[in-house]
């Protein structure tokens, strides 16, 4: 298992967190996603290392911006 934290901007509410979580959970190998709205941190647990481009595309699809790894 691999745990990676990312910084995502623009999330302000539970619906935002849910949107990001749903998009990231669609990525292959992702087993869990945890969003901390207070600091914009998204922690992803996956079976394999995820490509940053795939994570960025999922976050953008949810309507937010991936700043980078936290």
**For the whole model, what pTM was predicted?**
0.94
Q: What is the pLDDT along the chain (70 residues), one digit of tens a residue?
A: 999 999 999 999 999 999 999 999 999 999 999 999 999 999 999 999 999 999 999 999 999 999 999 8
Domain made up of 2-69: CATH architecture: 2-Layer Sandwich (3.30)
State the pLDDT at residue 65.
97
The two tokens of residue 14 are: 């539970």
State the pLDDT at residue 70.
87
| Exposure class string for 38-62: b at 16+ Cβ within 10 A, else e | eebebebebeeebeeeebbebbeeb
- Within a 10 A sphere around the Cβ of 5, how many other Cβ atoms? 13
């Amino acid at each position: 298992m691999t745990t990676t934290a990312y910084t995502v901007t623009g999330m302000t509410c539970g619906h935002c967190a849910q949107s990001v979580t749903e998009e990231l959970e669609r990525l292959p190998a992702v087993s869990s996603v945890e969003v901390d709205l207070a600091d914009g941190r998204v922690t992803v647990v996956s079976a394999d290392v995820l490509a940053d481009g795939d994570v960025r595309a999922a976050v953008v699809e949810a309507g937010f911006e991936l700043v980078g790894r936290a």
